[in-house]
Structure formats: structure tokens, C-alpha cells
Amino acid sequence: MLNFDELFAAADALSAPVPVVAAGGADSTVIQALELARRRGWVDPILTGDEQQIRELAAGLDIDLSPFTLVPDAADSAIKAVRCVTTGRAKLLLKGQLPTPNLMKAILQRDGGLRTGKTICQVVLMEITRDRRTFLLADTGITIDPNPQQQAEILTATLEVARSLGCDSPRVALMAATEKANEAMPETLAQTALVERAQAREFGPCVVAGPLSFDLAYASVAGARKGIGGDVTGQADAMVFPNLLSANLTVKSMMYTADCRFGGILKGTSSPVVFMSRADNVETRLHSIAFALHTLPQ
């Protein structure tokens, strides 16, 4: 799977910059990340939000806003940004300094939103630099307690992202607190059913295993010690979690304690959305932009 150095190289090789609109652009990390991406030739940046605040922040950062397009409207920043995508003015939407519910409300508008009828989920690309490991995690940000159909759609979206990053037949671990189906843990029974559907080739070329605990999905030594093998054990290209609680706790633990690089996008929308936390820094936003650019439909 491509790492972030390779994603940066791919973005550097773009034939033309991609128009990107930030919802909630009055944020220093958003402005800095888009300026860095613009200088590299990746994007044509559009900012929505409080124009005066945006200009004050840019002045404090010594960033010239003349190459940026400003769409001022502090109250309806998310709606204006989504409209830029639906009208073709932008190809990517970037979550800036605004709460997730505000952005999702704009995305989920029945008229003028980015609905596709599919489950919307956040897919994070995680690179553990110490181990030279790169893998996906989903859904880390949106669907609280996915039902079986939503789980299947989250798996499908994750597989699509993995294939766009170079995995022709992704190895996917369905994450749980155990490696055995257990009636006391209903999610493990649903995961067993997903594995059977994957074995029937319902999701295309892939290898899906589960339930699997994190140690088995990540470390081959754990599999050796527990006597559990398989094509996914110790080498998962993606980890799909049973609910938002387990996914979000896992990914944020890694973000703040591991030697890692990461970025996130939304899938299930009509266009990928650069989507991470308001607390993220410039580097993470830049990683997320490079990640999103690579998943755009060709």
C-alpha cells in the first residue's frame, strides 16, 4: 500500500491543481496546509467562512491570499462549501474549523448535498514509521453503531480505498476483542457472516478475516504465539471496526502515542471529503489532502 511519501510524489506529479474548498476556512492550520498544497501545485484553494477573520489569520501567517478564492459567510460556511462541490466549482471538500455535525448536516441535505445512498464513513490511512507499516482503519468518525448492511458498505468503501492505494486484493481484518465468534459479543457473529460473504466473492478480490483482535491483525508474532495463522494475521491492509467507539478510541490512541503519520477522508459521499479533527495540525491536514487527491475518480 502506498505510504505518504509516495502519495506526496503522486500529488506533485498532477498535471493540474485540483480545486479544493474548505468549510470553516478561518483557521490557521487550514490556511497553512492549503498554502503548502498550493505551492506544490496540488490545489487551487477556496475558503468559506468569516472573511475578516480569514484575512487576519493569513496576515499573521504572512500568507498572501491573492491566489485563494474567498466565499464569505460565517453562518453558512458548510452549506456554501458543499455548494461549491455540487456546482463543480470544487472537486474536493475539506473540513476546517467547524463541528462535525454542522458539516454533516450540509453534506446530508436532500437537495444540494453529497448524498449517494451509501453509508458515509471515515477511512483513515495510518503509517507506523517505526515498523514501515501502512494500513487503513474504518469507520473512525461517523456511523455510531452500524447495522449489518452498513457494515458491508463500510467494508466495500474501505476496499475501494485500499485498491486505489495499490492493493489489488486487500487483506482486511474485522476487529473485535477476541478471535472467536461469541454469542455474548453479537458483533463477532455479524463479522463471521461478512467473512462468508467475502469468501463468496461478493466484495470482489480480497481476503477478509474476523473476528480478529488488534494484536493478531497487526503483529505476526502474536499469531505465532497464539497459534493463529491465515493470510490476514499480522499483515492486515485494513481494519474495519464494529462500531465508532472502538474505532475512534483505537485511531486516536495511535495518533497521539505512536510514531506515525496519518490522514483521513470520508467515503460514501459523491466526492471524497478531506476529513479529520479540528485539533489536527498542518502536517496532518496536508497528509489528508494528498490522500484524498489520490482517491478522486480518474
Q: What is the pLDDT of residues 229-288, one digit of tens each?
A: 899 999 999 999 999 999 999 999 999 999 999 999 999 999 889 998 877 899 999 999
Mean pLDDT across 56-75: 92
Long-range contacts of 65-69 (CB under 8 A, 24+ apart): 67/38, 68/34, 68/38, 69/44, 69/45
Residues 176-221 have pLDDT tens digits of: 998 888 889 999 999 999 999 999 999 999 999 999 999 999 999 9
* 11, 177 contact by CB (below 8 A): no
CA dist 173 → 123, 128, 208, 265 (Å) = 14, 17, 6, 20
Residues 118-156 have pLDDT tens digits of: 999 999 999 999 999 999 999 999 999 999 999 999 999
- Rounded-to-integer distance, Cα 221 and Cα 216, Å: 8
* 58, 31 contact by CB (below 8 A): yes
Residues 77-96 have pLDDT tens digits of: 899 999 999 999 999 999 99
Over the Cα atoms of the chain, what is R_g?
Answer: 19
Q: Determine how many CB atoms are found less than 10 A away from the CB of residue 279.
A: 10
- Rounded-to-integer distance, Cα 63 and Cα 57, Å: 9
What residues does each domain of the chain span? 1-115+269-298, 118-266
The pLDDT score that the predictor gives to residue 297 is 80
Residue 134, all three cell numbers: 501502512
The pLDDT score that the predictor gives to residue 89 is 95
Class of domain 118-266 as given by CATH = alpha beta
The pLDDT score that the predictor gives to residue 74 is 65
The pLDDT score that the predictor gives to residue 73 is 77
pLDDT over threshold 90, residue 72: no
Residue with C-alpha cell 479544493? 20
The pLDDT score that the predictor gives to residue 272 is 86
Residues 172-185 have pLDDT tens digits of: 999 999 888 888 99
CATH fold group of domain 1-115+269-298: Rossmann fold (3.40.50)
CA 267 to chain centroid, in Å, comes to 7
CA 207 to chain centroid, in Å, comes to 21
* Burial class (CB within 10 angstroms; exposed 0-12, middle 13-18, buried 19+) of 33: buried
pTM as predicted: 0.95
Q: Is residue 76 very low, low, confident or very high in pLDDT (cuts 50, 70, 90)?
A: confident
pLDDT over threshold 90, residue 37: yes
* Average pLDDT of the residues of the chain: 94
Peptide bond before 27: cis, by omega within 30 degrees of 0?
no
